[in-house]
């Protein structure tokens, strides 16, 4: 049975994506300008919802659904099986709705300061219009695969922002401490930046 084994490799990395996304949104919150933090704070709240839904869904698939599917103890008609129109499919669509809402709101925090980050977070956020109707029209769920491009680019520009901040902190610390630099000081200063 290839179906459940294929899903295993789909859900396992996705299980780790959810908390990584939440950590990224929290980091963006601490990286945003003070006057724009309202956008990132609300975005973090929606990222928490996404993380909860996605983690629940993928953990259930990996532990409760896929093992019995592989053993033939249940079939694809099981209430918890992930397929278009199912309960867990709905949870997934709702989770990605909240992820898109999170990136949409966080984008506004970087509108004036980091155009590429703003643009790709905004485009990723606009996918929100696909994820709720996707529950009713499965082809929209697959159209949402554009997300793979927009999300990756948004995260690349977030990583570039973090790298820029860390380089600036490192430079400031080197100047301040005449070349003495400690990893703990970088982390503490990053959180204050």
Closest CA to 6 of 14, 121, 140: 14
Q: Each residue's pLDDT tens digit in the chain (193 positions)?
A: 456 778 888 899 999 999 999 999 999 999 999 999 999 999 999 999 999 999 999 999 999 999 998 888 988 888 898 888 889 988 998 999 999 999 999 999 999 999 999 999 999 999 888 877 877 887 777 777 888 899 999 999 999 999 999 998 888 777 776 545 566 666 666 666 5
Question: What is the model's pLDDT at position 141?
Answer: 72
Mark out the alpha helices in the chain (DSSP H runs): 2-31, 37-60, 66-71, 87-109, 115-126, 128-131, 133-136, 138-143, 147-176, 183-192
> What CA–CA distance (Å, rounded) separates 121 from 97?
14
**Max CA distance (Å), the chain:** 66
Q: Please, is 112 exposed, middle or buried when counting C-beta atoms within 10 Å of its C-beta (0-12, 13-18, 19+)?
A: exposed
Instruction: Give the angle subtended at the CA of 133 by the CAs of 99 and 82, to the nearest 5°.
Output: 75
CA distances (Å), origin 8, targets 40, 93, 120, 143, 178: 33, 18, 29, 22, 51
Sign of CA dihedral 89, 92, 94, 97: negative
- Residue pair 69/76 in contact (Cβ under 8 Å)? The answer is yes
**How many angstroms from the chain centroid is the CA of residue 172?**
31
DSSP 63: I
Question: What is the model's pLDDT at position 31?
Answer: 94
């Amino acid at each position: 049975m290839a179906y459940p084994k294929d899903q295993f490799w789909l859900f396992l990395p996705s299980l780790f994506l959810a908390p990584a996304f939440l950590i990224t949104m929290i980091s963006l919150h601490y990286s945003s300008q003070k006057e724009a933090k309202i956008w990132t704070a609300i975005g973090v709240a929606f990222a928490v919802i996404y993380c909860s839904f996605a983690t629940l869904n993928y953990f259930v698939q990996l532990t409760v659904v896929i093992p019995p599917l592989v053993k033939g103890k249940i079939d694809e008609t099981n209430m918890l099986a992930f397929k278009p129109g199912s309960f867990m499919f709905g949870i997934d669509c709702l989770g990605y709705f909240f992820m898109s809402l999170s990136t949409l709101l966080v984008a506004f925090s970087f509108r004036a300061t980091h155009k590429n980050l703003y643009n790709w977070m905004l485009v990723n956020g606009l996918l929100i219009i696909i994820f709720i109707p996707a529950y009713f029209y499965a082809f929209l769920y697959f159209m949402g695969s554009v997300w793979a491009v927009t999300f990756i680019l948004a995260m690349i520009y977030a990583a570039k922002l973090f790298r820029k901040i860390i380089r600036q902190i490192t430079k400031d610390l080197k100047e301040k401490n005449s070349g003495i630099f400690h990893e703990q000081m970088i982390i503490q200063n990053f959180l204050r930046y």
